Amino acid sequence: METVVITGGALITEEMNHSGDFLFPVLKLEEANYKDLLGGRGLRYLTEATKMALVAAKMAKENAKVEDLVPERSGVVVATNLSSMSTIVDFDYLTLTEGPRAVGAMQGPNLVLNATAAKLGIHFNITGFNTTISTGRVASLDALEYAYHMIQKQEVDLVIMTGVEEWTPTYKKWLEETNLMSAEQLNQFRQLGGTIILESESHAQARGAKIYGQIVDFSSTFAPALLAGGGVELESRLEYSYLIDDLAKDRDKISTVCVADSYLDTSHQERDTYFRKCFEQAELIAIGDVFGGDLFGSTGVAQVLCSLQKFQGGNELIFCHDEGGNFRGLLLKSSQLAHKGEKL
């Protein structure tokens, strides 16, 4: 089995609370000039999510110093749940209010959720595989695991893994007017696009790439009884205990623990107390505090890049769950430990 390493990354984000230099390129959404970054051709036909994904992938590819991709030995996997929703809302509204002839033909491709992944594959000429994963807040960690297994099995040598969500005014207005979400809940979400470049260690070493970290292992569990249970105390969640026991055999070797926020979780005191009790020596990162809210499907990609940024000479654990009862865990090794063959 191939060892899977991280050789690059980048973020384009609505908000970020971070002082000092960041390990990976970061672009504020309000500063993004898509025409300068991507060129003007066909730009007006792309969704906001696709533009964010293209910019993040372009910056990550440059960060990883990837110059010549082998199309059939490279893959794309995108984690997203909402990248086509604004187009769907606009399409349906025009159809119902003005009739089907009012709908533009170029809206059609953006109605499908895999439009963003398809555009990435076309833009970077990648033909190995092209996959979209939509599993709620845990989508980015699921996409990372998918890429990890494809590299491990030697199906490809390199994967562009992107997590992206868009929250446009049109979509927010529709959610509020249909009473699916309140304005208060909607205000807790933030837009973010992030990309991680994953490679087999042998491929990365052969091209002299800088290795930021190693993907060690994943773990997952499901708790249907906790559907929409945002306020349940974490100490009662055996699911997190399972993930911790599965991934961290020696808790003293964990330097960073990164946890995700849900728009339904109004108090994080119990969560923070629980994880600090489990990992007394580790630094705790709440990803919602860094980015000002709930990142939904792009949560995991932000967690990975922030965890590597916080490297303290140890290993990083990442945890994420959603309202559907899905729990995910990821164990990373920093670059300084990645080649020592140490085991937790």
The residues spanned by each domain of the chain are 4-206, 216-336
Q: What is the pLDDT of residue 227?
A: 53
pLDDT tens per residue, range 309-343: 866 567 999 999 888 888 999 999 987 644 444 44
Question: What residues contact 313, with CB distance under 8 A and at least 6 apart?
Answer: 255, 334, 336, 337
pLDDT tens per residue, range 121-154: 999 999 999 999 999 999 999 999 999 999 999 9
Q: What is the pLDDT of residue 225?
A: 60
pLDDT tens per residue, range 182-191: 888 899 899 9
How much is the average pLDDT of 24-28? Answer: 95
Q: Which one-letter amino acid corresponds to residue 173?
A: K
Please identify, in words, the CATH class of the domain defined by 216-336.
alpha beta
Are 4-206 and 216-336 equal in CATH topology? yes
CATH no. for 4-206: 3.40.47.10
Judge whether 139 and 166 are in contact, CB under 8 Å. no
Q: What is the pLDDT of residue 258?
A: 95
pLDDT tens per residue, range 192-218: 999 999 999 999 999 999 999 999 999
Half-sphere exposure of 4 (CA within 13 A, CB side): 28
CB atoms closer than 10 angstroms to residue 74: 21
Judge whether 315 and 254 are in contact, CB under 8 Å. yes
Helix H or strand E encompassing 76: strand 74-79
Full DSSP string of 202-254: HHHHHTT----EEEEEEEEEE-GGGTT-TTS-GGG-HHHHHHHHHH-SSGGGE
Q: What is the mean pLDDT of the chain?
A: 88
Share of residues in the chain with pLDDT > 70 (%): 91
